[in-house]
Amino acid sequence: MGWGDVKDWWDEQWDDFTDWVDDVWDDITDWFSPDLSDLEKKFDGTLLNKSSNVAEIPVVYGTQRVGGIITLMAVTGDKNEFLHLILTLCEGPISSINTVYLDDVPSTDERFAGSVWINKHKGEEDQLADADAVAEIPGWTSDHRQQGTAYLYVRLHWNRDVFARRPVITADIGGRLVKNYNHDIVTWSNNPAWCIADYLTHPRYGKRLPESAIDTASLIAAANYCEADISLYSGAPADQPRYTCDGVVDTSRTLWANIKELLSSCNGRLPRINGNYALIIDKDEVDAFAWDESMVLGSISMSGGSRRSRSNRISVGYRNPDNEWRSDTLPVDSAAYLAADNGIAHESRITLPFCISPYRAQMHGELAMRISRDRATVSFITKLAALDHLPSSVGTFSHSSLGWVDQRVRIVRMSLRLDATVAITLKRHDGDLYDLTLPGVYTPPTTTTLPNPLHVEPPTNLVLTEQQHDLYGEALFTWTEAADAFVTDYQAQIRLVAGGSWIDLGTREGTSRTVRNLLPGVYEFQVRSVNDSGVHSGWLTLECTIAIAAVVPRVRGLELFGQGNDHIFTGRDAKFAWREGSLNFSYDLGDEPFGAGSGARDLYFKDYEVRVLDIDKNLLRTEHVTDNWYIYSYEKNVEDDGPRREFILEVYQRGRQNQLSTKAARLRVENAAPAAPTAYKITPDHDSIIVDFDRPSDTDYKGCSVWIGTATGFTRNASTIIYTGANDQFLIDHIGDNSPLQPETEYFIAIRFEDEFGNSGTESVEISATTRKAPVAVIDGTLIGGVVWNGDDEEKIEATVTTDTGDTIVGQFNFGGYCDRHTSAGGVSTDYITGAHARAFAWFEIYREDVGSPTSDTLVAASGDTNNPNYFSGIYTTYYRTEYVPLGFIDQPPAGNYRYYVKYYFRAADARDLLKEKARSFTLTRHRA
């Protein structure tokens, strides 16, 4: 074997171990110099809504605000006034969809009331279709489930005061649920280690690696380092994780490009070591080796990097939540480095796609600047023993010609040579680089925006000057003009508070409005600004009273509806009625709208105040109605800590100024208990008793209680009650101590009805019932008499039983079989063939034969006939499917000795050969009279 073979072997062993180290320190800093314009496009582009049904779906980790992909847009309504959007956000499942914004305004803002409806879906793998979308969007069905995708269903109603165009919709979300390898759970986390592992292993949008391809120990160590609590700024408590991963993965980009961006969140590297991917965080390490000149085989070379590569200012691009989640730039400067560079600025740029904290942006920028200051490396040939250490290991190196004594270094490049030596590059290492200076408290940027043309300032200081007449009122309303230079007019409206509709008073200039011909009452007056584009402000509202003193008459004729003076009501609800009353108004005789006793209302009538009290006169409920009737429903009774079967109802008449009549109409009522059961039927068997009864006509009937005993006059208590429920038929198979009923035994049964109000009715008289004789045991279920073929394509399976007068025979025949398409003659012959399938048609009949007089057999059951047979399917392979035919009967023959048997019928002669049995049974049970 030559050296070429040796090298090939070593390459196979060490490629995975060392293939990352070439240019590793270039990789450390190559993400430090992006194009910031690209960064802005990437960040701000995720806040837009693009329309597509083929676009790649992004992945969100941590916390982020995103726009979405409009995968469906439809309009409905008579005037196309409804716009429907299915807005795909990201891969799911995610932990939450929080605030949704329309043009950066929260959807919960009052301006969107009645114009915006949003349903949120977090992208579970088993999520169902949005029921509202299915109901509202033509062609959208329950099959449109968007499983595994987080999305919004948004419905917008066109309103020119709210929308000038289709709004841009964004949402604050808690990103992907990822696996936490520390606790072996799937949960939300912005730990960079868990997010990187999720992207590496996910089968849909990631690298699709098995978990076994990841070095779990390094992953957990990196996660613990990222989670370690630190202070983010000077004076802050040490309660924040060192690194987080909050951002959007663009799945249309290459896997490696996305992995590099994810690694930037924690200053991490992803080498393959011994065949597995290991996550290594750039940080100070414990020394793993101590080398000197003896490790150098031959010459040694040193490189210090160019002066231009040393930065004294770094611009850090990140996504800033304080800037509407748009891209922002944070400068990191060093006066000391600038002085060391003779005042010549050397600026670099880095981008942090998964950073949303200005403090962590500062930390990354300072570390990048420190690393750039010292790029001193040495390269030489060394011994194979160097391979005992991993790339990125830190140790010491002493060399007299370099003046290095125990100089700390890091391995950044190593490769095996043909002569069994190792080419290695070491970089000077300074652990103090990672001891970063804490920044001061961050001040969010001040955002400036142009005036929103859709925002109109409302008027202020709305007041009322009231002018009264005897019965009608006149009101003058004034207000202060809006502080808005674009306002030209004001729109005013007025309504009665008590159920009145808004009356529009027009839109015109001026800051006052006079309203005439007002009836006495409580009113709402509202006014709003209108700008020169026709856009309105919100309403400014004032409640006022046109106060004319009026005496309100008392209510008379209060009664249970249709029951006169009766105070007993039936059913769940109590309905009351009364006459209307007036002091200064009446109908002419014969013109009453509801009869002579209906009464009339005053013009300033407002409503009736209904009060419900318990029998101790404690107030339970107050309601206001405009009709002269009221229903106190069972549901209201329960809400008032009931139900109560007795209560008091009071009714006052109320005027428009909320004045009440001096006295109330009052009525005390109660609910009647249900009567005793009368119509019932008892059906005994040998071990049970079936009880049927007619439930009472009471609409508040709830159920019954049933007791059973073995002697007349038995005690009704918890040990003898055997049923409580709403059924009007039930089976009794035990007594109170769970002992089963015995054959030929007399039992006594009592029934009592109960209603929803807890009323217990009168129980029934004791019902006596005697159980029947017990049936004989089940005949052996095996086939009796075997199988006998006759010449008519019939098969008999027999079972014999002797009966007494009144006995009942219950039989059950079960057959399972399949069609075998092969025949012994080598041909294929079946009743029916389609493709590779075959069927054999057969049916079964059960007969009773009188053994003492076998001249005439009686048919008792059949599974089919010539026109409606059973069929048994098969396939032209070794596979078959068994079909099952159950056939049962109930027979009551005279006393005698009988043979019951089964006949098989086949539609074709060859079907008998093709039908193969898998299982069959024939059982008889004799139930004695």
User: For position 783, what pLDDT does the model report?
Assistant: 33
* Burial bucket for residue 250 (CB in 10 Å: 0-12, 13-18, 19+): middle
Comparing 401-415, 440-454, 675-689, the range with the smallest average pLDDT is 440-454
User: For position 491, what pLDDT does the model report?
Assistant: 93
Examine the domain organization and report whether 505 and 542 are in the same domain: yes
929 falls within a domain: no
Examine the domain organization and report whether 280 and 419 are in the same domain: yes
Give CA–CA dist 693/732, Å, rounded.
14
Could you tell me the pLDDT band of residue 526, with boundaries at 50, 70 and 90?
very high
Q: Given a cut of 90, is residue 875 above it in pLDDT?
A: no
Could you tell me the pLDDT band of residue 159, with boundaries at 50, 70 and 90?
confident
HSE-CB for 516 with a 13 A CA cutoff: 0
Examine the domain organization and report whether 663 and 694 are in the same domain: no
Q: How many domains does the chain have?
A: 5
* Burial bucket for residue 193 (CB in 10 Å: 0-12, 13-18, 19+): buried
Examine the domain organization and report whether 607 and 726 are in the same domain: no
User: For position 729, what pLDDT does the model report?
Assistant: 85
User: For position 449, what pLDDT does the model report?
Assistant: 55
Examine the domain organization and report whether 188 and 125 are in the same domain: yes
Query: pLDDT digit string (tens) for 727-736?
Result: 888 888 888 7
Could you tell me the pLDDT band of residue 16, with boundaries at 50, 70 and 90?
very low
The top-scoring range by mean pLDDT among 21-25, 39-43, 711-715, 821-825 is 711-715
362 in Cβ contact with 350 (< 8 Å): no
Could you tell me the pLDDT band of residue 230, with boundaries at 50, 70 and 90?
confident
Q: Given a cut of 50, is residue 190 above it in pLDDT?
A: yes
Q: Interhelix angle for 216-227 vs 192-201, to 10°?
A: 140
Per the structure block, which two tokens stand in for 490?
A: 């004001």
Q: Which structural domain range is residue 469 located in? A: 460-546
Examine the domain organization and report whether 271 and 401 are in the same domain: yes
Q: Given a cut of 60, is residue 877 above it in pLDDT?
A: no
Three-class SS state of 81: coil
**Which CATH number fits the domain that encloses residue 614?**
2.60.40.10
Comparing 376-390, 728-742, 775-789, the range with the smallest average pLDDT is 775-789
Give CA–CA dist 721/751, Å, rounded.
10
Q: Given a cut of 50, is residue 25 above it in pLDDT?
A: no
223 in Cβ contact with 193 (< 8 Å): yes
Could you tell me the pLDDT band of residue 781, with boundaries at 50, 70 and 90?
very low
User: For position 796, what pLDDT does the model report?
Assistant: 53
Examine the domain organization and report whether 530 and 567 are in the same domain: no
User: For position 465, what pLDDT does the model report?
Assistant: 74
196 falls within a domain: yes
Query: pLDDT digit string (tens) for 599-652?
Result: 566 666 788 999 999 999 999 999 999 888 999 998 999 899 888 889 999 999
Q: What is the mean pLDDT of residues 577-600?
A: 57
Give CA–CA dist 308/76, Å, rounded.
63
Q: Given a cut of 90, is residue 192 above it in pLDDT?
A: yes
Q: Given a cut of 70, is residue 919 above it in pLDDT?
A: no
835 falls within a domain: no
User: For position 570, what pLDDT does the model report?
Assistant: 82
864 falls within a domain: no
Query: pLDDT digit string (tens) for 880-904?
Result: 567 778 888 899 988 888 888 888 7
695 in Cβ contact with 764 (< 8 Å): no
582 in Cβ contact with 599 (< 8 Å): yes
User: For position 828, what pLDDT does the model report?
Assistant: 43
Examine the domain organization and report whether 574 and 509 are in the same domain: no
756 falls within a domain: yes
User: For position 31, what pLDDT does the model report?
Assistant: 34
Q: What order of strands is seen across the sheet that includes strand 487-496?
A: 503-508, 487-496, 521-531, 540-546
User: For position 901, what pLDDT does the model report?
Assistant: 81
**DSSP 8-state class, residue 187:** E
- Residue of 420, 268, 391, 392 whose CA lies nearest to 17: 391
User: For position 122, what pLDDT does the model report?
Assistant: 95
Examine the domain organization and report whether 258 and 382 are in the same domain: yes
* R_g of the chain computed on alpha carbons: 45
728 in Cβ contact with 782 (< 8 Å): no
Q: Is the C-alpha dihedral spanning 220, 221, 223, 227 positive or negative?
A: positive
Q: What is the mean pLDDT of residues 735-764?
A: 84
897 falls within a domain: no
Could you tell me the pLDDT band of residue 197, with boundaries at 50, 70 and 90?
very high
Q: What is the mean pLDDT of residues 806-827?
A: 69
812 falls within a domain: no
User: For position 6, what pLDDT does the model report?
Assistant: 32
Examine the domain organization and report whether 103 and 244 are in the same domain: no
690 falls within a domain: yes
Give CA–CA dist 29/18, Å, rounded.
19
Among the three residues 201, 225, 252, which one is the final residue of a domain in this structure? Answer: 201
Q: Given a cut of 60, is residue 493 above it in pLDDT?
A: yes
Which runs of E-coded beta strand occur in 520-675?
Answer: 521-531, 540-546, 556-560, 568-569, 574-579, 605-613, 619-625, 629-632, 646-655, 665-671
Examine the domain organization and report whether 489 and 415 are in the same domain: no
Three-class SS state of 851: coil
Question: Of 590 and 863, which is predicted with more confidence?
Answer: 863
* For the chain, percent of residues with pLDDT exceeding 70: 81
Among the three residues 606, 635, 670, which one is the final residue of a domain in this structure? Answer: 670
Examine the domain organization and report whether 512 and 382 are in the same domain: no
Q: What is the mean pLDDT of residues 485-504?
A: 88
String of DSSP letters for 371-416? HHH---EEEEEE-GGGGGS-TT-EEEEEEGGGTEEEEEEEEEEEEE
Comparing 69-83, 116-130, 476-490, 827-841, the range with the smallest average pLDDT is 827-841
- Residue of 636, 640, 645, 648 whose CA lies nearest to 620: 640
Q: Interhelix angle for 255-264 vs 192-201, to 10°?
A: 170
Among the three residues 650, 670, 690, which one is the final residue of a domain in this structure? Answer: 670
Could you tell me the pLDDT band of residue 436, with boundaries at 50, 70 and 90?
confident
What does pLDDT average to over the chain? 81
